[in-house]
A = this chain, B = another copy of it.
Amino acid sequence: MNQPVSDGSQKYSVSIIGASGYSGAELTRLLLHHPQVELRELYAFSQTGKPVSELYPALDCDMSYKSYNGETESDIFFLALPHGEALQLVPALLQAGKTVIDLSGDFRLKSVLEHQQFYKQAKSPEAVMTYGMPELFGEEIKSSKAISNPGCFATSIILGVAPLFLSNASIIKVRSITCTSTSGISGAGRSSKTELSFSEMSENVRAYKVGIHQHTPEIMQALGTSTSNPSFDFTFTPMIGALVRGIYSVLNVQLDKPSDMEDIKRHYRNFYRNAPFVRVRESMTEVRHVYRTNNCDIHVAHAGAGGSLVIVTAIDNLLKGAAGQAVQNMNIMLGIDERTGLS
């Protein structure tokens, strides 16, 4: 999956629309230090005129936020906006020939019906972008100019079970996946909600959107099925815990027949042999192991007899779950090593 490294002589101009949230700030950090990027504009409507150093002093960035008014001067645009806003902006950017990477959920679902059901938004059916999960769709990404970046929970879940679906389908068949994922609180965005205050979330864990989270159809789609006619049972309970960053997913998988653990691990290692950011680990994964990295760690175990697997995955929700994966996608589109600016 690695690309030949370009000679590094070329610089691409890049702008971020929605740069003041947590994903936008991580994009800013990554792109400021990316050797082939010139960061041109940081757009953030709500912070117009404010220096980046006021919101994020740790970024050591001397730019200021601007309002976005349809400018198309950059080569590449990252959009890190609340759900619904990219729908308005992406068509014009694509028409202007720009490379676009959208971090929202606006273009993730190919099914207009599922989009309307889970995002409660109308959507023009012609809007189509490539689903930017490099470990599964690297070839499509390479030739795309429009990427819909995966959701954070979705990334941690899809990477955990993809090897069971996307190859060797003849030998493994999944009957059900029961998934419980803990997210860091930054996943809720830079927020002023009382329920996300330190006083409310310290020493706390809370589940939400049981059975109705919008990443459910995204996961089904990436695994080749749909919520309306699923090829396996899928149950997903998202939670937030008392941590800022990270997603930790416990995936209970029922197969149709007993499996050999060594076979499964070998298959996982082989499946991800060219994926520099996926690590299939013998020992248990922890959030700390991937903290501030673009890695996805995967640990596979038998829960007991009878074909039942417990797969545990860990990512940093702001990196592999958002900004890091977005830069990885950009690298692939530019034909440079996908690790550039990410280690």
Contact = CB atoms under 8 A, between A and B. Distances in A.
Contact of A198 (B196, B281, B289): B196
Interface string A288-306: 1111110101000111101
Contacts of A194: 190-192
A234 B178 CA distance: 12
Contacts of A161: none
Nearest to A208: B284
Interface string A113-151: 000000000000000000000000000000000000000
Contact of A202 (B206, B243, B295): B243
Contacts of A58: 288-293, 295
Contacts of A284: 206-208, 210
Contacts of A13: none
Interface string A235-265: 1110101111110101010000000000000
Given A178-B252, A180-B180, A237 B310 contact: yes
B237 A205 contact: no
Query: Most B CB atoms within 10 A — which of A201, A234, A292, A308?
Result: A201
Contacts of A95: none
A284 to B, nearest CB: 6
A27 interface: no
A204 interface: yes
A203, A208, A304, A312 — most chain B CB neighbours (10 Å): A203
Given A210-B301, A242-B242, A283 B54 contact: yes
Q: Copy number of this protein in the oligomer?
A: 4
* Size category, A interface: 35 or more
A343 interface: yes
Interface string A183-205: 01110101111101111111111
Per DSSP, are chain A's interface residues mostly helix, strand or loop, or mixed? mixed
A198 B202 contact: yes
A158 B281 CA distance: 32
A57 interface: yes
A206 B286 contact: yes
A211 interface: yes
A325 interface: no
B205 A244 contact: no
Contact of A244 (B199, B233, B283): B199
Given A203-B287, A205-B286, A233 B308 contact: yes
A159 B304 CA distance: 23
Contacts of A283: 54
13 contacts: A58-B290, A58-B295, A60-B295, A180-B252, A182-B241, A184-B199, A190-B199, A191-B194, A192-B194, A205-B314, A207-B284, A207-B310, A211-B302
Given A200-B288, A205-B241, A235-B252, 9 more contacts: A178-B178, A184-B199, A203-B245, A204-B286, A205-B248, A206-B286, A211-B302, A235-B304, A252-B252
